[in-house]
Amino acid sequence: MANAGTLIIGNCQAGVQLASTLRELGDTDPIVLVGEEPHAPYQRPPLSKAFLKGEASADSLTFRTHEFYRDHDIELVPRERIVSITRDAAGGVAVAESGREFPFARLAITTGAVPRRIPFEGSELEGVSYLRTATDAAVLEQKLRAAQDVVVVGGGFIGLEVAAGARASGKTVTVLEAAPRLVGRAVSEQTSAFYLQAHRRRGTTVVLGAQVARFTGEHDRVTGVQLADGTVIPADVVLIGVGVVPRTELAEQLGLAIDNGVVVDSRALASDGLTVAAGDCANLPNPSVTPGGVDRLRLESVQNAVEQAKVAAATLLGRGSDYQTVPWFWSDQADLKLQIAGLSGGHDEVVLRGDPESEKFSVLYYRAGELIAADCVNSPLDFIAVRGALHHGQTVPPSVATDTSVALKKLVSAAPALAQKVMTP
């Protein structure tokens, strides 16, 4: 049988990186990158930021030129949704909804995630939106242009980015968050409290502990969001941003272990020992350079999509090495640049550096006296310093970290205990 090469399912950031890295590593076998979206792979982060403001077009967000795919012999197949798949150790075949078959010798799953849907009454009304793809963003941009009252359900990054953009263009904006604080999954209480105030200062109404009961509508169009206490908040557009669910249907068909994502090892290898998975769809061992914290997690970030995909590509070629990194994330809301370095889970001490009132500060997280992460608001230098320190197993003593008269990078020092732990296998 002719070498069927590598099939990558999911034409996204991780998929493109996987294909590119295979070529960089010298792989000359066929590579097919298949996905259901109509576009060539593109950057998603700007969709909730510049794109909604009309400052970016779908074309400007594409990762690679068509010439790149041609010159590197990567076959890009858009508009094909893979619905069934079988494989054995020698390879297999994936079948699209259209009936088209994609044989493969090696398989990579980069299927990403889809927005979590909550079956509120009225969810089918025109004007109720989700945001994940460029198509979603184009539709939302149109709806927002004509809207005055905007309600965002979910006070996470996506919701707050969209809320900030809509507010900046003069809309009446309400954010409804079910939890007692904003972005509770990703940042500390201090950072949450800051974002609550910052959005309110800019004129956005934020309701915490909000329980959405249903969406109200007239003539099939949404007109409002009704809360459990009976309050109705008027809405021309509702954006629901309450997290994502990893897409694991194909992995399930292959019998791969699934647990909040496709379970992979530190080399991005799934439980069959053959298939690799990378990006938002993968549940991976905590890759942090810093020891401790949770054992396994999913990482929804550009950085993870890129770096895990590189590891996955090497693994497909039998040259994989353990994935280790300093996870990082960013979110742009209004004129607030948030950068997060490291994973703060399991911290036992928090140090505030700078004054949140000035909208320029960092929250440093410690575990057993060692720096493990930071949320940096309009403080890219702190972010760079922390990311670098974590990479090198260094710390910033909490006692001096508050001194904003000294650049954080000058306060970085070796963390002997930590460095030792990193060296120990």
Partner 1 sequence: MPTVTYVAHDDSEVTVTGFAGDSVMETAVRNGVPGIVAECGGSLSCATCHVFLCGDSEGVFPPREDLEDDMLDGTAVDREANSRLSCQLRLTDDVAVRVQTPETQV
Strand boundaries in 97-160, DSSP class E: 101-104, 106-109, 113-115, 128-129, 149-153
CA distance 14 to 307: 8
CB of 165 to partner 1, least distance (A): 15
Q: Specify the residue, 79 or 337, whose C-beta has the smaller distance to partner 1.
A: 337
Q: Specify the residue, 176 or 309, whose C-beta has the smaller distance to partner 1.
A: 309
- The two tokens of residue 301 are 């970030």
Q: Specify the residue, 206 or 385, whose C-beta has the smaller distance to partner 1.
A: 385
CB of 47 to partner 1, least distance (A): 11
CA distance 383 to 270: 33
Residues in Cβ contact with 178 at an 8 Å cutoff, skipping those fewer than 6 apart? 154, 209, 210, 211, 212, 242
CA distance 221 to 233: 15
Q: Specify the residue, 32 or 94, whose C-beta has the smaller distance to partner 1.
A: 32
Interface with partner 1 (CB under 8 A):
20, 23-24, 43, 45-46, 62-65, 67-68, 72, 302-303, 306-307, 325, 328, 330, 332, 337, 339, 380-381, 383-385, 387-388, 391, 409
Q: Specify the residue, 67 or 88, whose C-beta has the smaller distance to partner 1.
A: 67
CB of 313 to partner 1, least distance (A): 13
CA distance 415 to 376: 21
CA distance 108 to 117: 26
CB of 7 to partner 1, least distance (A): 20
Helices first, then strands: H and E counts in the chain: 11, 28
Name the residue among 335, 345, 33 with its Cα closest to residue 184: 345
Q: Specify the residue, 122 or 327, whose C-beta has the smaller distance to partner 1.
A: 327
Which residues make beta-bridge pairs with 267?
A: none
CB of 330 to partner 1, least distance (A): 5
**Tokens 């997280």 correspond to what residue?**
365
CB of 121 to partner 1, least distance (A): 38
- The two tokens of residue 262 are 């496709």
